[in-house]
A and B are shown apart, each in its own frame.
Chain A
Amino acid sequence: MINLPLLPILIPLLAAVILMLFPKHIAAQRVISIVTAIATIIASAVLVAAVKQNGILTVNLGSWPAPYGIPLVSDMLSALLVLTTSIIVLFVLWYAIYYSDREYESYFFYISVLFLLVGLNGAFTTGDIFNLFVFFEVFLISSYLLIVLGGKKGQLRESIKYVLINVISSALFVAAVAYLYAVVGSLNMADISQRIEALNEPGIISVIGIFFLIVFGLKGAIFPLYFWLPGSYHAPPIPVLALFGALLTKVGIYAIMRTFSLFFYQDGGYVHIVLGALALLTVIIGSIGALAYRDVKMIIIYNIIIAVGVILYGVAVMTPDGLEGAIFYLLHDMVIKAALFLLVGIMMAIAGSSHLKDMGGMIRDYPWIGWTYFIGALSLAGIPPLSGFIGKLLIVRGGFAAGDMIGPLLILISSLVVLYSAMKIFTNGFWGTPREYHGAKAHLATRLWVPAAALILIAIAYGVGAEAVRPFITQAVEPLVNPAIYIDAVLKE
């Protein structure tokens, strides 16, 4: 089956197109989208196994040989990300079925989520820089629809800013691709990497590198470009927020990883120093936000920004340890952020508000939710043996190995901030004086808890079974450290 890397893109695409034929038939929409998500998970699990066995898999679309056609390239990193994305989409869909009301669902909700999945999986898999732009647009346009769906005042107001920021960054993306194409005359990422090496003009390449850093930084919310994120992510309903928070910024990070390891590595690390400094500033800004707010959504949203900083720091040090930690932490963060958003969503459903002053003593009526959240919070902060620990350990070790003192220390301190901010929700929300709650969706709490708890279980398994996961991560790091592996796999014919 040579089309295997394509399946995680094709399955949701076909399903979304079929669902477009009867958007108002909610029961069918629910069933088909859940089945599709499961099928996508199976396909991506098979893909991971195949990549483990055979190394990097490529498909040259339309049988046009590389570097002329568009290749889809599944290395271990992209296969793992595709698998994680599909898993998260399944559980968020499950949650959304209970959470959303019928009218909301009938406005192309499931179709947008599936197109989002298509765009994300495509962006993770493609080996062509312009095709990356196209897949970025696919998931962005779905996200525009998801963020505005529901049409509340705040949502409309915030979605305008979200759309505006992303339209601008898309235009910059096109401009960056234009410069890159002018310099190297190719769009195939492996071919670009080769030609950049042959070109040996670090100056212009650094400029293009910064350009790409701005574009992907806007998506990934790194330091000066994160400003749009808290406001925009606060607006949409919880299932959409969980999807955005868990997945969208991570594509930016993935794109930075991919382009920086393939294109911008020859200039003596100038771009990487910039990236490292920005990553640390991102951690600081995120920490300040997470400490300052008492709104549960906002606290977790600022935790996204901290995580982005931590992962990018691991990428910026560019040691095998740092990169391994970054990938470990990236996968962990996707799962745990989705789970925490879903859990916080249950708290909001019970209390009917997102502010901590309206919560307290929930542990009496909802002990299971409380303890699930507790485990999630510990895992987020990186308490061993939970999943955040190994990633952070490796990143910190990588930082020290690279001779940096400040970075690893800052990251360790930020863990304390993360722990404090996440525990703030626990102590204020679950402990304290019990009170009566009148949230409109409080009766759904147990049903909503199941998918969230399942995600937490996956996170625990990921942390405890780190020994089993490690070979996969090591394989994912190889092409990042040594681009020649990636280049040879794509241009082999």
Chain B
Amino acid sequence: MEFLMSIIVGILFTCAVYLILSKSLIRIIIGTVLLGHGSHLLLLTMSGLKSGSAPVLMDNISEYADPLPQALVLTAIVISFGVTAFFLVLAYRAYQELGTDNMEQMRGTESHD
């Protein structure tokens, strides 16, 4: 299972890099989302995909899953959710102001001479 997941992480990272390197802003944002998913999955995979009951103390259960990776991933997901929402709104505003979503046309600053 870990092996399969590592391959999926690899695919996610590849797609993310491809998308981030493209010109269109919306593709870049989707790329960052995929990159985030990739690293979250990596975090879960690397800490071992143990099977076991929910880590809540109960009778008749001896095997518990490691609660830490889940907590970490939840935190990371929430953060990346918030940042992605902000990024989308920012991209939309930038598109309205600058009239383009092409990163080629967003180069440099006007004061560099």
Question: Which residue in chain B gives the minimum CB-CB distance to A234?
Answer: B109
The minimal Cβ–Cβ distance linking B28 to chain A, given in whole angstroms, is 6
Q: Is the CB of B79 within 8 A of A170?
A: yes
CB contact list, A391-414 vs B, under 8 A: none
Q: Is the CB of A141 within 8 A of B82?
A: yes
The minimal Cβ–Cβ distance linking B13 to chain A, given in whole angstroms, is 9
User: Given A156, A182, A187, which contacts B46 in the complex, CB threshold below 8 Å?
Assistant: A182
Contact with B along A163-201 (1 / 0, CB 8 A): 110011011101101110110000100000000000000
Question: Which residue in chain B gives the minimum CB-CB distance to A231?
Answer: B109
* Number of chain B residues whose Cβ lies closer than 8 Å to a Cβ of chain A: 38
CA–CA, A154 to B93, complex, Å? 12
CA–CA, A22 to B111, complex, Å? 37
Question: Which residue in chain A gives the minimum CB-CB distance to B40?
Answer: A174
The minimal Cβ–Cβ distance linking A372 to chain B, given in whole angstroms, is 25
Contact with A along B1-34 (1 / 0, CB 8 A): 0000000000000000000100001001000100
B56 cross-chain contacts in A, Cβ below 8 A = none
B112 cross-chain contacts in A, Cβ below 8 A = 295, 298
Q: Is the CB of A167 within 8 A of B32?
A: yes
CA–CA, A179 to B38, complex, Å? 13
Q: Is the CB of B109 within 8 A of A235?
A: yes
The minimal Cβ–Cβ distance linking A490 to chain B, given in whole angstroms, is 18
The minimal Cβ–Cβ distance linking B6 to chain A, given in whole angstroms, is 11
Q: Is the CB of A157 within 8 A of B94?
A: yes
The reply to whether the CB of A130 lies closer than 8 angstroms to some CB of chain B is: yes
Q: Is the CB of B42 within 8 A of A174?
A: yes
* Number of chain A residues whose Cβ lies closer than 8 Å to a Cβ of chain B: 38
The minimal Cβ–Cβ distance linking A193 to chain B, given in whole angstroms, is 18
The minimal Cβ–Cβ distance linking A340 to chain B, given in whole angstroms, is 19
B87 cross-chain contacts in A, Cβ below 8 A = 163-164, 167
User: Given B20, B40, B46, B98, which contacts A181 in the complex, CB threshold below 8 Å?
Assistant: B46
B90 cross-chain contacts in A, Cβ below 8 A = 144, 148, 156, 159-160, 163
A137 cross-chain contacts in B, Cβ below 8 A = 79, 83
Question: Which residue in chain B gives the minimum CB-CB distance to A147?
Answer: B90
Q: Is the CB of B97 within 8 A of A174?
A: no
Q: Is the CB of B86 within 8 A of A163?
A: yes
The reply to whether the CB of A354 lies closer than 8 angstroms to some CB of chain B is: yes
B93 cross-chain contacts in A, Cβ below 8 A = 151, 156
A177 cross-chain contacts in B, Cβ below 8 A = 43, 72
B68 cross-chain contacts in A, Cβ below 8 A = 181, 187
A174 cross-chain contacts in B, Cβ below 8 A = 36, 39-40, 42-43, 76
CB contact list, A301-355 vs B, under 8 A: 354-355
The reply to whether the CB of A153 lies closer than 8 angstroms to some CB of chain B is: yes
CB contact list, B38-93 vs A, under 8 A: 38-40, 42-43, 45-48, 68-69, 72, 75-76, 79-80, 82-83, 86-87, 90-91, 93
Q: Is the CB of B42 within 8 A of A141?
A: no
User: Given A167, A178, A354, which contacts B42 in the complex, CB threshold below 8 Å?
Assistant: A178
A298 cross-chain contacts in B, Cβ below 8 A = 112
CA–CA, A159 to B38, complex, Å? 24
The minimal Cβ–Cβ distance linking A26 to chain B, given in whole angstroms, is 23
Q: Is the CB of B97 within 8 A of A171?
A: no
CB contact list, A214-249 vs B, under 8 A: 231, 234-235
User: Given A130, A160, A181, which contacts B25 in the complex, CB threshold below 8 Å?
Assistant: A160
CA–CA, A327 to B72, complex, Å? 32
A-B contact sample (4 more), CB < 8 A, given A156-B94, A178-B47, A295-B111: A141-B86, A156-B97, A164-B32, A182-B47
Q: Which B residues have a C-beta under 8 Å from some C-beta of A? A: 20, 25, 28, 32, 35-36, 38-40, 42-43, 45-48, 68-69, 72, 75-76, 79-80, 82-83, 86-87, 90-91, 93-94, 97-98, 106, 108-112
